[in-house]
Amino acid sequence: MANTLTVTDNRTGKSYEIPISYGTYPEYGASIPTADLRQIRASEEDFGLLGYDPAFKNTASCKSAITHIDGERGILRYRGYPIEELAESAGFLEVAYLVTHGELPTADELEAWTHEITYHTYVHESIKKFTEGFHYDAHPMGMLVSTVAALSTFYPEARDIADPEVRRRQIVRLIAKMPTLAAFAYRHSKGLPYVYPDNDLAYAADFLTMMFKMTEVKYEPNPVVERALDVLFILHVDHEQNCSANAMRSVGSSRVDPYSATAAACAALYGPLHGGANEAVVRMLGDIGDPKNIPDYLERVKKGEVKLMGFGHRVYKNYDPRAKVIKKLAYEVFDEVGKNPLIDIAVELEKRALDDDYFVERRLYPNVDFYSGLIYQSMNLPMDMFPVLFAIGRTVGWLAQWEEMLTDPEQKIARPRQVYLGHDKRTYEPLSARE
């Protein structure tokens, strides 16, 4: 079998042979280098054939070895390790090491990495002043986007992105400082004094302390809540070429510093089509209000009046493996802090939807957002903090994607082509001559 594609241009009758290459896994399909289409021309002056693919629905923008998704079978793996096993047995910083370094750490490596991250959690005092400048009701995600970008001005060395040691230092700083920036944004919105990081605490416990410590000498987070948050961070670490990872790669391809690129990725996550669906699920469950109203709600979904939020996914045509882990986690948290009454509506809604032909035929299953908002709500986290929590975990994935892009010799500054539909050349008329 020849691994080539023969294309005949019916305008000219000419045939071209284009190589087909395969990734490691059949579910990712085969690909052709679309640059090879440029040789296909109708005339000498012709620019050559382009691929037209708005929203990259069928275009691979990179070769990556970080995250493996098989949407048909509901599989998600980081560096080859199934998400269920990592969520069950690993800690967030262990997974962060795996995703950024490619291998699981040894005990010594994990200890050194944890120490390094822990000792970089402080932010410059001026960042505090910066946060104070925001209006009292500023959205915490807006504050996060801005403060992450501001970090670049504190670390001018970060611009030296060609130096692997400089890159590594910024990766450590960003993973370490995101929870501090996130907690400062929350405390500001509540009008509460900022709580500084505590180097005696593990990553999730430190974040919970910076969020919720009041007058007590030592805030002691509930260990089940702490572990649940750690797992939620793990589940959000990476999801291959999603909108924010693509923003990170695209902005980073200009060789800007990683703080500015991460701010761009955060901004992409801020959008309701990306990081905001878990909030929409909580609002939807509140609107349904009672399990007895579910049939009516599902009828409205089927008529196209509303969407079943937290259901469906561009890639997963099976149960999102992260949703399975989160559903189990929700009950563990509720056993500790009290049941979120919306869970009964969520479980019944899921059951009825999965029994309904409309959802079965369209292969619509719960996604990561269906249960995560309920857990966050039970942890007393306000809805506008939900995407911020997503950003803390996802920073690890963004940085791994960024470094992979920078070290890939095939990558260049991202610069898509366009199909131009505007005016042909026009002559400028002075203002006085215009009607």
Active-site residues, by number, are 274, 313, 369
Q: Considering only residues 115, 314, 351, 417, which one is a binding residue for ligand ACO as defined by CB under 6 A?
A: 314
Q: Considering only residues 145, 178, 301, 388, which one is a binding residue for ligand ACO as defined by CB under 6 A?
A: 301
Nearer residue to ligand ACO within complex by CB, 263 or 309:
309
Decide: is 397 part of the binding site for ligand ACO (CB under 6 A): no
Listed ranges 80-88, 361-369, 418-426, 427-435: which one lies at the site for ligand ACO (CB under 6 A)? 361-369
Per the CB < 8 A criterion, the answer to whether 399 and 343 are in contact is no
Beta carbon of residue 94, minimum distance to ligand ACO (angstroms, whole number): 23
Per the CB < 8 A criterion, the answer to whether 11 and 42 are in contact is yes
Q: Closest residue (Cβ) to ligand ACO?
A: 312
Beta carbon of residue 5, minimum distance to ligand ACO (angstroms, whole number): 27
The whole-angstrom separation of Cα 181 and Cα 160 is: 24
Comparing C-alpha atoms, which of 176, 393, 136 is closest to residue 265? 393
With 0-12 / 13-18 / 19 or more C-beta atoms within 10 angstroms meaning exposed / middle / buried, residue 255 is: exposed
Listed ranges 69-77, 87-95, 289-297, 305-313: which one lies at the site for ligand ACO (CB under 6 A)? 305-313
Listed ranges 92-100, 170-178, 338-346, 365-373: which one lies at the site for ligand ACO (CB under 6 A)? 365-373
Decide: is 367 part of the binding site for ligand ACO (CB under 6 A): yes
Decide: is 389 part of the binding site for ligand ACO (CB under 6 A): no
Size of the site for ligand ACO (CB under 6 A): 16
The whole-angstrom separation of Cα 414 and Cα 355 is: 44
Per the CB < 8 A criterion, the answer to whether 342 and 309 are in contact is no
Decide: is 368 part of the binding site for ligand ACO (CB under 6 A): yes
Q: Which long-range contacts (CB under 8 A, 24 or more apart) does 148-152 make?
A: 148/174, 148/178, 148/181, 148/259, 148/262, 148/263, 148/266, 149/259, 149/260, 149/263, 150/259, 151/123, 151/127, 151/177, 151/181, 151/259, 152/257, 152/259, 152/260, 152/263
Decide: is 369 part of the binding site for ligand ACO (CB under 6 A): yes
Nearer residue to ligand ACO within complex by CB, 257 or 369:
369
Q: Outline where 194-341 has alpha helix (H).
A: 203-212, 223-235, 243-252, 258-270, 277-288, 294-302, 321-337
Decide: is 313 part of the binding site for ligand ACO (CB under 6 A): yes
Decide: is 403 part of the binding site for ligand ACO (CB under 6 A): no
Decide: is 277 part of the binding site for ligand ACO (CB under 6 A): yes
Decide: is 323 part of the binding site for ligand ACO (CB under 6 A): no
Number of Cβ within 10 Å of residue 92's Cβ equals: 26
- 3-state DSSP helix/strand/coil % of the chain, to nearest 5: 55, 5, 40
Decide: is 210 part of the binding site for ligand ACO (CB under 6 A): no
Q: Outline where 13-106 has alpha helix (H).
A: 83-89, 92-101
Decide: is 310 part of the binding site for ligand ACO (CB under 6 A): yes
Listed ranges 144-152, 168-176, 261-269, 359-367: which one lies at the site for ligand ACO (CB under 6 A)? 359-367
Beta carbon of residue 37, minimum distance to ligand ACO (angstroms, whole number): 26
With 0-12 / 13-18 / 19 or more C-beta atoms within 10 angstroms meaning exposed / middle / buried, residue 181 is: buried
Q: Considering only residues 38, 101, 169, 307, which one is a binding residue for ligand ACO as defined by CB under 6 A?
A: 307
- Residues near ligand ACO, by CB under 6 A: 274, 277, 301, 307-314, 362, 364, 367-369
